[in-house]
Structure 1
Amino acid sequence: MFFYKKRNVHGFLLLDKPQGISSNNALQKVKKIFSAKKAGYIGTLDPLATGMLPICFGECTKFAYYLTKSDKRYHVIAKLGEKTSTSDSDGVILNKRPILFTASQLQCSIKELTGSINQIPSMYSAIKCNGIPLYKYARQGLNIKRNTRKISIYNIYSIRQEKNLIEFKVFCSKGTYIRTLVEDLGEKLGCGAHVIFLRRLQVGSFSDTKLVKISDIYKLLNQKDIKNIDFFKKIDDLLMPIDSPIDFLPKVYLSPKELYSFQLGQAVYSHSDIKYSLVRVIEKKNNKFVGLGKINKEELLIPYRLLSTFSN
């Protein structure tokens, strides 16, 4: 493997996290390949889980927060009749029960778990207590009191049961713990259940059609005839624009003169019908994203969060 001096990399990557490694481990692998000075991921996936792990590089990290609030979609396979210590197949089996529910009982249980519901996060979640993730307490045999969370399960669909396995897809709000959802379903059915397969298909408006595998990036890295600059150009081409995490926000274009004042921290007239909203501010001349602005009731565009570089 090649090693290069760390560099400023700016952009957004939808990584297809492989099974068996933590989200942070996946991040560090990608960060090392890109020789990036700064990068972070959005939304922890358990080692068991695969699929969409959004990664923000450099200036893109300034806007990661807005994507953390997004809805998500998952593909789930659960094993019925067994409850485990971690609510997934990585844990030890706590008890086994017969699978005796009917099709109508299954539909009724699914309905009860759809809509606005309360959920208690798993002790094996990444939620922090006194700065320490809950799963670290759990590994020491400690059980920390967790507050109930209000979440939304918009839809549980494509449900298929075969013997002791149940497969479905779920569209849900941020903060939803799929392992807890599966465990709650198992209790409603009276047999217990745990996750054996979990794949994140979607975060916000991003679907899994744009996912990039670590192995695909390594293939570019391992080309023998590649030069440094050619290699970085190839992998940088995999990155989406800096403003991708906030692509749901409207755009406002500024002239060079307006942009100059805006970047000095001054409010400028917005020339827009938009009010009371965050907007993506674009340099009209070069069609470059320069940061976030906020339009107030006086139709003034106020600097909110700006890039420190124009790299896009």
Structure 2
Amino acid sequence: MGRKRFKGRALDGVLVLHKDAAMTSNDALQQAKRLFFAAKAGHTGALDPLATGVLPLCFGEATKFSQYLLDADKRYKSTFCLGVSTETGDADGEVRERHSVSSLSEATVAQALDNFRGDIKQVPSMYSALKHNGQPLYKLARQGITVEREARDVTVYELKLLEFRSAQVLGEDYAELDVEVFCSKGTYIRSIAEDLGELLGCGAHVSMLHRMAAGPFVEANAVSLQQLAAERGEGLAEQLDHHLLPTDAPVAQLARIELPEESAYYFKLGNAVMDAQVYRIGDEGDMVRVFDSAERFLGVAELTDDGRVAPKRLLAN
């Protein structure tokens, strides 16, 4: 007989998970899914196994809005190891080269960081999750395959040098710096580290990476798998539901519009509906969250130039 298929509950909402190190984002997702006994769930942008921190998970109907979190800005704290480059650009990879950093000063490092603020171009790492012909780059890299990658435009809004530890202070043949990075979607912290190491002529890699925030979700609101498991114990999954944020949490930054009963009925059928609120809420092309008169979330819509609310993503129920 085949394995019994995992079904689970029809559960909707968002969990702000704190991912631990040494586990993949998918491992974290599957464990959370089982703890909640949820039928459907997805994460909103993978964290490397090395990385810790904020990993929003969408359950059920909330998965329809996960793209908004994939597109959201992120904030990280990271430690760069200068003087050592690795195959993967992080501490999980084999050491590729070592260079002396005995004369490297904080002032030199601080000046070099200026090159990575604002609008910059990055060539994604071969160990990223980007896909080439349907295959994640990291899978190709592990097979010894390297493919050409185009530089991508990203924005680093903030890049703070928190602390520099010289080789002399550490008593080692490498130096370290702690940074805090606030950046746009698609920014690779390991690429900043590698490019900084290349600019300084000494090589570098990421030895620690922690995501502090993903869009509106911050680590102060995150819960770990260990906390969830301890809270549930031998009890029912339902006792964890209070950790879930509403289904519209990924789009909470959008303006809200409430439709009367008749308009809501046709909107749920996929029809654009007229509403006088459109002219007060936003401009043509703006996206809004749509609710009915009972304050039930119906989905997201686009405002049109003729005063209509045109559905873009609707909840099933």
Common topology (TM > 0.5)? yes
**1:188 maps onto 2:225 in alignment:** no
Contact 1:185 1:193 in 2 (8 A): yes
Whole-angstrom distance in 1 between the partners of 2:271 and 2:90: 52
Contact 1:126 1:134 in 2 (8 A): yes
Residue segments in structure 1 that go unaligned for 5+ positions in a row:
none
Q: Which range moves more in the overlay, 154-163 or 98-107?
A: 98-107
The match for 2:305 among 275, 293, 297 is 297
Q: Secondary structure at the match of 2:50?
A: coil
Q: 1:108: Cα distance to partner?
A: 1.8
Letter in 1 for 2:287: L
**1:236 maps onto 2:234 in alignment:** no
Aligned partner of 2:38 in structure 1 is: 36
Q: Secondary structure at the match of 1:44?
A: coil
Q: Secondary structure at the match of 1:260?
A: helix
Contact 2:36 2:238 in 1 (8 A): no
Aligned partner of 1:280 in structure 2 is: 289
Aligned partner of 2:27 in structure 1 is: 25
Contact 2:56 2:217 in 1 (8 A): no
The match for 1:165 among 139, 162, 176 is 176
Q: Secondary structure at the match of 2:209?
A: strand
Aligned partner of 2:170 in structure 1 is: none
Q: 1:259: Cα distance to partner?
A: 1.1
The match for 2:135 among 126, 132, 137 is 132
Deviation string for 1:118-151 (max 9, x for gaps)?
1111111111111111111111111111111111
Aligned partner of 2:121 in structure 1 is: 118
Q: 1:268: Cα distance to partner?
A: 2.1
Whole-angstrom distance in 1 between the partners of 2:161 and 2:109: 13
**1:217 maps onto 2:228 in alignment:** yes
Count of aligned pairs = 300
Q: 1:4: Cα distance to partner?
A: 8.1
Whole-angstrom distance in 2 between the partners of 1:303 and 1:35: 31
Residue segments in structure 2 that go unaligned for 5+ positions in a row:
167-174
Identity of aligned residues (%): 40
Aligned partner of 1:204 in structure 2 is: 215
Whole-angstrom distance in 2 between the partners of 1:162 and 1:104: 12
Letter in 1 for 2:115: E
Contact 2:37 2:237 in 1 (8 A): no
Q: 1:158: Cα distance to partner?
A: 4.3
Q: 1:103: Cα distance to partner?
A: 3.0
Whole-angstrom distance in 2 between the partners of 1:236 and 1:4: 19
Q: 1:270: Cα distance to partner?
A: 2.2
Letter in 1 for 2:267: F
Contact 2:77 2:180 in 1 (8 A): yes
Whole-angstrom distance in 2 between the partners of 1:126 and 1:141: 16
Distance 1:82 1:4, change over 3 A: closer
Q: 1:283: Cα distance to partner?
A: 1.5
Deviation string for 1:56-86 (max 9, x for gaps)?
1110011111221111100001111101111
Letter in 1 for 2:261: P
Q: 1:5: Cα distance to partner?
A: 5.1
Aligned partner of 2:169 in structure 1 is: none
Letter in 2 for 1:209: A
Letter in 2 for 1:61: T
Q: 1:171: Cα distance to partner?
A: 0.6
Contact 2:232 2:239 in 1 (8 A): no
Aligned partner of 2:48 in structure 1 is: 46
**1:109 maps onto 2:117 in alignment:** no
Aligned partner of 2:17 in structure 1 is: 15
Whole-angstrom distance in 1 between the partners of 2:208 and 2:271: 51
- Runs of 4+ in structure 1 off by over 6 angstroms are none
Letter in 1 for 2:116: L
**Normalising by structure 2, what TM-score?**
0.91
